[in-house]
Structure 1
């Protein structure tokens, strides 16, 4: 049973948005049935469900029979948002495969929602106390524009969310027409090729994995982006960033820990065998393994060790960058200038994993048993093993999930970025305020000599 789609529950607490929201066939006003039952069946059938503030309040009062007579408008907003959250995160979605028309299941679902929301109503004072806490100058959870107004300026009668792949910043421009700001797109910067393989291996949105009979590991650039609109430039305080974001066990297999020297020795013997039998992309595989070893060394976990099956995510380069685009507009009847900045904070991050590493050293020599067997099979002319080695590398684009494998995977993936995603805008170091080109930073593993 699929959980509720992220975009399927969209609650709108602004009056102007309520007027413009077009309810689907699930509008409670258009049905004599319990609207919550209709929502329940729609989610069970993996249908898209769109809700507005009015429909959520109707569910609270008519379906869950929660008395809203003395509930304030801000608290109603809290209840509406909470209802969406609890619908999405109900544990029962994982326990039942066929939920449609199962009265027992629906009854549990309804009791769960009523208990959760009744608790919130009964403890309104506590929730209001939390909501009255001062807002931070910038919310880091997602792309947003809810920065507090300055000089007691009236708030706009709408809310604005900028979404989409982070590379959109490269072709976004603000234009003023008839005292209104319009967001437009212009042609992207050309994507410049760099001679260094390190550049592409550390390019944003690139994922690489190597899959061989005894080993499976991957390395993914998952840079963190925080975007916001402001009239105060990009001088907001840099968010605190942990060097190692997380260490996660990826499966229930019994963990095995390997030293840097052990993994390095295995890679070295593997590359020598590949070079001996002219395996395609041998130099590329060597570069990937070198980057992977540098990841282990940079993180330096328990004296440069790596365990399987684990994934480590860290801030490669140990720096945080920012980039922005701004527009200056002069009102037609005034000389006052309005400056709007679309800023983006970029924290370079890499997640590298060791899913499988079932290797053992040979007792008599400083070699590995599986690689010695591989060498013998290749010497005997094993075309199957040679084919496995030639196709062990996979490149992926994390923006659009395109996958490339085989002899030309590196160049095919590079062409994909050159043609589809274009170039990246320059970034500025948050500390030293120096400007850097993304290809240059990627070529140095996002490191620069930062002199604050």
Structure 2
């Protein structure tokens, strides 16, 4: 599935489409509906078909699961024009004989092609409407406020990247559950395995200032902080597509002899978090593009800590606002669905690997086994820029955090004022109900 126009057939080379007549709006027809399959068959068989705007809207709603009522009329018009354009330009029409012989398989391919195009359009609309800025490297100036709690601004030379413990006692390290550690500040995890390469970085945006009197909330962080792409040929994949892939992936690799079950558990935990990220980001009906990084405000809540460190008639506080963020990068995803398997959603590479598991000392199986047990996962402490690899990577990075970073003090929700431990929030993806 690609978003580039390299899979488009030039409009002038598609004579079949001339028999499709589109009217601005027809009369109301009780109980008569036109489906995407009707359009597909009409183009394929060179038969005449008349449809109007409402018919196309019904196709988008029924066959492509796009709720057009959620969008402004201007965007719906884009959807309608895009439908006609991409139907006309699909390269699958080039081989009419193959289309007639493999009608169902080609129709499924046609549906996926259209859905992929609409995912790309929706993601482009999201970016345009949010006017998402690029990341900038600049000195950080504390937020300017008009009320008396902060009568001056304190300029800090560089953006703070770790919470301040100068005036607080550190808490001893405590054992973390897998999901708690995966959402821990300053931890990056990178996975390269078979068809997928993904990187997930936990960051912590910190605003720190000195103020007098009671704390006042000044943050209103954007949920999507940035979207950056490194290629013009990105491919988009839905959440459900990833679910099917990961289900088969773990069914297959768990059957590999001598596979390290602890490493498989690490992979399962990571991809569970990855799927939750896609759901929470919720761009383009819940999808993710290759060669793309999405930064988002995980949990969609801000927290603060305040410490009174000077005792005078007017208390002076060191105030820190903490906004947990995640940068999610899908470098590539090369899985291809096996259309020959009509009984289930499976993938070519995983089917091929599964067939070779029974062959003793099969080279490709041994190569996958080595990668799972030794090289597929890297952990990095982003604060110290130290990477941990190989079979004991998880033990190494946990020991590093325990020895060097400890556990920060509890924080308060900037909205409801409830107190939370960092460990508790990390385990719940920094989410709570105010």
CA contact (8 A) 2:149 2:212 kept: no
Residue of structure 2 equivalent to 1:172: 166
Residue of structure 2 equivalent to 1:248: 228
Cα distance in 1 for partners of 2:428, 2:157 equals 31
Residue of structure 2 equivalent to 1:142: 140
Q: Does 1:207 align with 2:191?
A: no
Deviation at 1:377, TM superposition (A): 4.5
Cα distance in 1 for partners of 2:357, 2:213 equals 64
- Aligned in 2, Cα 1:160/1:309: closer, same or farther, shift over 3 Å? closer
Q: Does 1:384 align with 2:384?
A: no
Cα distance in 2 for partners of 1:297, 1:151 equals 39
Deviation at 1:193, TM superposition (A): 1.4
Residue of structure 1 equivalent to 2:297: 315
TM-score scaled by structure 2? Answer: 0.61
Residue of structure 1 equivalent to 2:428: 444
- Aligned in 2, Cα 1:152/1:172: closer, same or farther, shift over 3 Å? closer
SS of the residue corresponding to residue 206 of structure 2 reads strand
Residue of structure 1 equivalent to 2:33: none
Q: Decide which of 224, 227, 234 is 2:215's aligned counterpart.
A: 234
- Aligned in 2, Cα 1:338/1:145: closer, same or farther, shift over 3 Å? farther
Residue of structure 2 equivalent to 1:71: none
Superimposed CA distance per residue, residues 59-98 of structure 1 (whole angstroms, 9 cap, x where no aligned partner): xxxxxxxxxxxxxxxxxxxxxxxxxxxxxxxxxxxxxxxx
CA contact (8 A) 1:145 1:229 kept: no
CA contact (8 A) 1:378 1:385 kept: no
Q: Which moved more, 1:362-371 or 1:438-447?
A: 362-371
Deviation at 1:168, TM superposition (A): 4.7
Deviation at 1:198, TM superposition (A): 0.5
Query: Structure 2: which 5+ runs fail to align?
Result: 1-137
Deviation at 1:272, TM superposition (A): 1.5
CA contact (8 A) 1:395 1:403 kept: yes
Cα distance in 1 for partners of 2:288, 2:401 equals 31
- Aligned in 2, Cα 1:224/1:168: closer, same or farther, shift over 3 Å? closer
Deviation at 1:276, TM superposition (A): 1.3
Residue of structure 1 equivalent to 2:412: 428
- Number of aligned residue pairs: give it: 286
SS of the residue corresponding to residue 282 of structure 1 reads helix
SS of the residue corresponding to residue 311 of structure 2 reads strand
Residue of structure 2 equivalent to 1:303: 285
- Aligned in 2, Cα 1:266/1:190: closer, same or farther, shift over 3 Å? same
Cα distance in 1 for partners of 2:421, 2:158 equals 24
- Aligned in 2, Cα 1:151/1:244: closer, same or farther, shift over 3 Å? closer
Deviation at 1:234, TM superposition (A): 2.4
CA contact (8 A) 2:180 2:423 kept: yes
Superimposed CA distance per residue, residues 30-80 of structure 1 (whole angstroms, 9 cap, x where no aligned partner): xxxxxxxxxxxxxxxxxxxxxxxxxxxxxxxxxxxxxxxxxxxxxxxxxxx
Cα distance in 2 for partners of 1:370, 1:324 equals 53
Cα distance in 2 for partners of 1:265, 1:258 equals 11
Q: Does 1:220 align with 2:207?
A: no
Cα distance in 1 for partners of 2:242, 2:231 equals 22
Query: Structure 1: which 5+ runs fail to align?
Result: 1-139, 174-185, 331-336
SS of the residue corresponding to residue 156 of structure 2 reads coil
CA contact (8 A) 1:377 1:385 kept: no
- Aligned in 2, Cα 1:164/1:314: closer, same or farther, shift over 3 Å? closer
Superimposed CA distance per residue, residues 112-153 of structure 1 (whole angstroms, 9 cap, x where no aligned partner): xxxxxxxxxxxxxxxxxxxxxxxxxxxx96254987896999
Deviation at 1:427, TM superposition (A): 0.8
Residue of structure 1 equivalent to 2:275: 293
- Aligned in 2, Cα 1:161/1:298: closer, same or farther, shift over 3 Å? closer
Q: Decide which of 265, 268, 285 is 2:244's aligned counterpart.
A: 265
